[in-house]
Amino acid sequence: MNSNRWIIADDFGFIEANDLVMLNLCSLKKIDGVSIFPKYISESHARSLMLLRKSHNIKLGLHFNLTLDDYKNCSITREKLLIRSIFNSIDKDFISREFNLQLKTFKEKFSHDPDFIDGHEHVHAFPRITKIICKILYINKYKGFVRYVGSNSKRVFWRSIKYNFFLKFITLEILALNQKKILQQYKLLFNHSFDGLIPSNSSDKLLEILKEIYNSKNEESTLVMCHPGMHSQTSKNSFFTSKDREIEKNFLIKKQHNP
Q: What is the pLDDT of residue 124?
A: 98
Q: What is the pLDDT of residues 106-159, one digit of tens each?
A: 999 999 999 999 999 999 999 999 999 999 999 999 999 999 999 989 999 999
Q: What is the pLDDT of residues 69-120, one digit of tens each?
A: 999 999 999 999 999 999 999 999 999 999 999 999 999 999 999 999 999 9
Residue 259 within a domain: no
DSSP 218: P
d(C-alpha 202, C-alpha 146), whole Å: 28
Average pLDDT, the chain: 93
Q: Is the pLDDT of residue 1 over 50?
A: no
Residue 74 within a domain: yes
Cα separations in angstroms, 138 against 141, 183, 188: 5, 10, 7
Q: What is the pLDDT of residue 257?
A: 54
DSSP 188: -
Other C-beta atoms lying within 10 Å of the C-beta of residue 82:
20
Q: Which residues span the domain enclosing 146?
A: 5-254
d(C-alpha 228, C-alpha 30), whole Å: 11
Residue 259's pLDDT band (cuts 50, 70, 90): very low
Residue 122 within a domain: yes
Domains contained in the chain, number: 1
Per-residue pLDDT, averaged over 155-180, amounts to 96
Give the global pTM.
Answer: 0.93
Residue 105 within a domain: yes
Question: Are the C-beta atoms of 31 and 25 separated by less than 8 Å?
Answer: yes
d(C-alpha 94, C-alpha 90), whole Å: 8
Per-residue pLDDT, averaged over 161-174, amounts to 96
Cα separations in angstroms, 9 against 34, 77, 124, 161, 172: 5, 22, 17, 24, 19
Residue bearing the bigger pLDDT, 120 or 1: 120
Q: Is the pLDDT of residue 30 over 60?
A: yes
- To the nearest whole percent, how much of the chain has pLDDT over 70? 93
Q: What is the pLDDT of residue 220?
A: 64
Q: What is the pLDDT of residue 200?
A: 79
Per-residue pLDDT, averaged over 177-194, amounts to 97
Residue 70 within a domain: yes
Residue 167 within a domain: yes
CATH code: domain of residue 68: 3.20.20.370
- To the nearest whole percent, how much of the chain has pLDDT over 90? 85
Q: What is the pLDDT of residue 2?
A: 45
